Amino acid sequence: MNFFKYLTLFLFFLSNTVYSDELRSSKDTLLNIINYDLKSLEKDMAILDEVHEINTMIFRSAGNDIFSNHSDSIVYIQTDIALGSGVVINDDGEIITNAHVIEDAQEIFVIFKPKSGNNVQVSAIHESSLIKKDIGRDLALIKPLYPPTNINIIDISKSMSFENDYVATTAHCIGHPDGYAWTYTGGVISAYRKNFSWPSEDGLMRTANVVQIDCSINPGNSGGALISDDGELIGINTFKDPANDDINFAVAANEVLNFIESNEFAEPETIENIRKRIEGDPIFVSGKDFNNDGLYEIESWDFDKNGIIDTYVHYEDEDDKWEKIEKDENENNVIDSVIIANKDGSISHFFDVDEDGVNDYQWIDTDQDGQFEVKQKI
């Protein structure tokens, strides 16, 4: 598109009735249009060209009220390095998306869905700024510099029980998979998983409460809305299981609310550091010397190196050999297995499966070769 075409477009936008109401009501808007230079116009037209190359931007109902009522609350996000989706959450025009959608971006633009038709105007493109992000939970909050008037928002669910309220109900997903703008897919909410961890492409391990869904999501859906049957936002579509097309995940609404209200974010640990930590030696935490002889009778250890004590080693004499090991396998502060070094050289393992304080099974390694010759219910 040459200079004269840009100039023609520029003059057209100055006179277009799209701006007529705003011009009468806002001096700032008028100044903004007058100062809209050709370089900015060229950048915005390039974004529209990219959108139009992927699809014709023809919008139609998905066969239910969820799409018709809420699709215009979903924005198309285009940065200088990526594209994705976002959800308008308040009247100030603030938008929730994934941190990885805007990560390392120098410029962030959002496109608001037109009310009707298939012609997205330059006026629908809004330069945006980052308010805050939480890399660990893969969430970001952005805001258009000049948000449009009369925007629609989606209320965020405040449910205290995802299992009871949403599992086994319909999952409604709206986003822009592979750039196909404002696409609806439906499925089922399969599960709610607390403190779920997943690896990211940038080598980080992220952790958040997530909602498992089976509706189709793909790159470009990231940051888009997972909507309940009653029209509330219950998650931000975030990632998929690479080995299973029907297992996808959204960061849960309770994490979104916490992110909005809090400014305390934990940096995620790198996958490489986690690997080194797991492969390294267990971590000694503390010891107790009851008889003040300089030797510990009980040692506390963190064997999986996650910062939680999971193993207690007991020494009953001064021969530097342990006699008993207590383990809290699921780290809930309840001992669920005990290992005893018997005087005959055998090793006995006791398991309290239901964690009621009574052992349910005994396994015995008679010759300490790592194989259990006896396995019995007590």
Which pLDDT score is estimated for 24?
A: 36
d(CA 45, CA 47): 5
Catalytic residues: 100, 138, 222
Q: 96: burial class by Cβ within 10 Å (0-12, 13-18, 19+)?
A: buried
What pLDDT is stored for residue 19 in this prediction? 36
User: Which sequence spans correspond to the domains of the chain?
Assistant: 57-270, 277-377
Residue 116 pLDDT: 64
pLDDT of residue 23: 35
Residue entry with tokens 């000694």: 284
Alpha-carbon gap, residue 267 to 183, rounded angstroms:
33
The answer to whether the beta carbons of residues 204 and 270 sit under 8 Å apart is yes
pTM for the complete prediction?
0.64
**pLDDT score recorded for residue 65:** 83
pLDDT score for 29: 42
Residue 181 has what pLDDT? Answer: 87
Q: Which CATH architecture has domain 57-270?
A: Beta Barrel (2.40)
Interacting residues of 143 by C-beta distance below 8 A, sequence separation 6+: 92, 93, 94, 95, 128, 129, 131
The SS3 assignment for 290 reads coil
Q: What is the pLDDT along the chain (378 residues), one digit of tens a residue?
A: 443 344 344 333 433 333 333 333 344 444 444 444 555 666 666 666 666 555 444 444 334 588 989 999 999 999 989 899 999 999 999 999 999 999 999 999 999 987 765 566 666 788 999 999 999 999 999 999 988 888 899 999 998 888 889 999 999 999 999 888 889 999 999 999 999 999 888 888 999 999 999 998 888 999 999 999 999 999 999 999 888 878 999 999 999 999 999 888 878 888 787 777 667 778 889 989 888 888 888 999 888 878 889 999 998 877 778 889 999 988 888 998 999 988 888 989 899 888 888 888 899 988 888 788 888 888
